[in-house]
Amino acid sequence: MIKTDIIIIGAGPVGLFTVFEAGLLKLKCHLIDALPEPGGQCIEIYPKKPIYDIPGYPSILGYELVENLMEQIRPFNPGFTLGEPAVDIKKDVDEQFIVTTKQGTQHKAPVVAIAGGLGVFTPRRPPISNLKEFENKGVNYIIKDPELFKEKDIVISGGGDSALDWALYFANDFSKKVTLVHRSQQFRAHNDSVQKAMDMASNGKINLILDSEVSAIEGNGSLESVKIKSKASKELTKINCDYWLPLFGLTPKLGPIANWGLEIEKNAIKVNNSDDYSTNIPGIYAVGDVNTYKGKLKLILCGFHESAIMVQSAFKRIHPNKKNILKYTTVTGISGFGE
C-alpha cells in the first residue's frame, strides 16, 4: 500500500502543479495516471503546439511546459503510478481514502485531489472496417511528433481546428503532399485558418477535396492508399499516401470517476469554488478541467489557481491543529523533501 498526504488522480499540468503547491506546505503527493507518461492533454494532444497564455511565457510548447513542471516539482519528490487508471475509491476504517487502480495498486491518504481533466482520451474513429489493422501503421489520430510526417504524402480528414491547423502546418513546405478531405463545404475551424487553407488550395499547396469522405483504406502491412468517395456523384478517387490522419476530435469520457458518488454536472465534477474546490465528499477535491462551477474556464492557468487554493484547505484537513501562514517563495526559497 502506497501512503502519502495527497493522492492526485491525473498527472496533467494541473495535477503536476498541485504537487508544487502542496510541497510548499510540506504535504507529500503521489500521482496516478492512466497514461504511461505525465503531461495530460499537453503531451497526449498537442506536445509541439505553442501555448501563448501561460503567465511569464510569451510562448511555450506543450511538452516544454510539462518538462518545466516536472523540473519545478522535483524537489518535492512525488511518487508516480503511471499507465494505471484509478478505478475505485473507498474510505478505510480510519476515514482515510484508499484509491485502487485497474491493475490493483492501492494508495492511501487523508486527501484526494482529482485532476482527471477530460478523463480518458478516446479518439472518434471513422466507420471503416479494416481501420484497426492500420492504426499506428499509417493511420494516426493524434500528432505527437510532426517530424514523422516530414517529406511524406499525407491525407487529413476533418473540418475542425485540429484538421485545419495541421493541414496548414504540413503544407508549409514540410510534407511532400497534403490532401485535406472534408465531408461538407462548411468548416468548424477559425475563419482565419479556413481562409489560409483556401489560399493554399488555390496556389496548389493543399489538395482540398470537399463534400467527400475517405471510405476505404488499403495497404500491405502499412497504409499505402485511401479511397475518397464524393457524396454527390458517389465516385471513388484513389490517393496514394503514407499517412491518413482522421482528425475528428477526441470524445471526453469521465470514465470510472463518474461512479464514485461525486456530484456530476456537464460531464464534470461539481465543486465549491467560492471556498476551496471541494466536492460533495469531504476530503475529495477536484481541480483543473475535470471540475465545473459557475464561470469555469478550462484553461491551464485557472487550474493552477485552483490548486493553490485547494492545498490550503487540504492542509487544514490534514493538520487541524496547525496554523499555516502564507509565505512567499522569494522569502522561503524551496525546501524539498529529498530522495
Ligand X SMILES: Cc1cc2nc3c(=O)[nH]c(=O)nc-3n(C[C@H](O)[C@H](O)[C@H](O)COP(=O)(O)OP(=O)(O)OC[C@H]3O[C@@H](n4cnc5c(N)ncnc54)[C@H](O)[C@@H]3O)c2cc1C
Contact residues toward ligand X (CB under 6 A) are: 9-15, 32-35, 40-42, 45-46, 51, 53, 85-86, 115-120, 255-257, 288-290, 298-301, 303
CB of 306 to ligand X, least distance (A): 9
CA-to-CA dists, residue 152 to 209, 213, 220, 223, 238, angstroms: 18, 21, 17, 12, 17
Choice between 119 and 219, CB closer to ligand X: 119
Choice between 15 and 158, CB closer to ligand X: 15
Neighbouring C-alpha atoms within 13 Å toward the C-beta of 235: 5
CA dist., res. 270 & res. 263, Å (int): 6
Residue with cell 503546439: 49
Choice between 13 and 110, CB closer to ligand X: 13
CA-to-CA dists, residue 227 to 21, 167, 177, 214, 245, angstroms: 52, 19, 16, 6, 14
**What secondary structure letter does DSSP report for 247?**
-
CB of 85 to ligand X, least distance (A): 4
CB of 33 to ligand X, least distance (A): 4
CB of 46 to ligand X, least distance (A): 4
> Which residues touch 78 (CB under 8 Å, ≥6 apart)?
8, 19, 28, 29, 30, 31
CB of 51 to ligand X, least distance (A): 4
CA dist., res. 287 & res. 276, Å (int): 10
Choice between 4 and 225, CB closer to ligand X: 4
Choice between 225 and 291, CB closer to ligand X: 291
CB of 284 to ligand X, least distance (A): 13
For residue 76, with 0-12 CB atoms within 10 Å meaning exposed, 13-18 middle and 19 or more buried, which class applies? buried
Choice between 223 and 271, CB closer to ligand X: 271
Q: Find the DSSP H helices in 74-226.
A: 131-134, 161-171, 191-202
CA-to-CA dists, residue 253 to 10, 36, 119, 132, 231, angstroms: 14, 18, 5, 21, 31
CB of 206 to ligand X, least distance (A): 20
Choice between 48 and 74, CB closer to ligand X: 48
Residue with cell 522535483: 74
Characterize the bridge pairing of strands 268-270 and 291-292.
Answer: parallel
Choice between 47 and 219, CB closer to ligand X: 47
Choice between 228 and 268, CB closer to ligand X: 268
Residue nearest to ligand X (CB): 117
Helix (H, G, I), strand (E, B) or coil at 266: coil
CB of 296 within 8 A of CB of 267?
Answer: no
CB of 154 to ligand X, least distance (A): 19
Q: Virtual CA dihedral for 33, 4, 289, 120, nearest 10 degrees? A: 20
CB of 298 to ligand X, least distance (A): 5
Residue 300 is placed in which grid cell?
491551464
Beta bridge partners of 238: 227
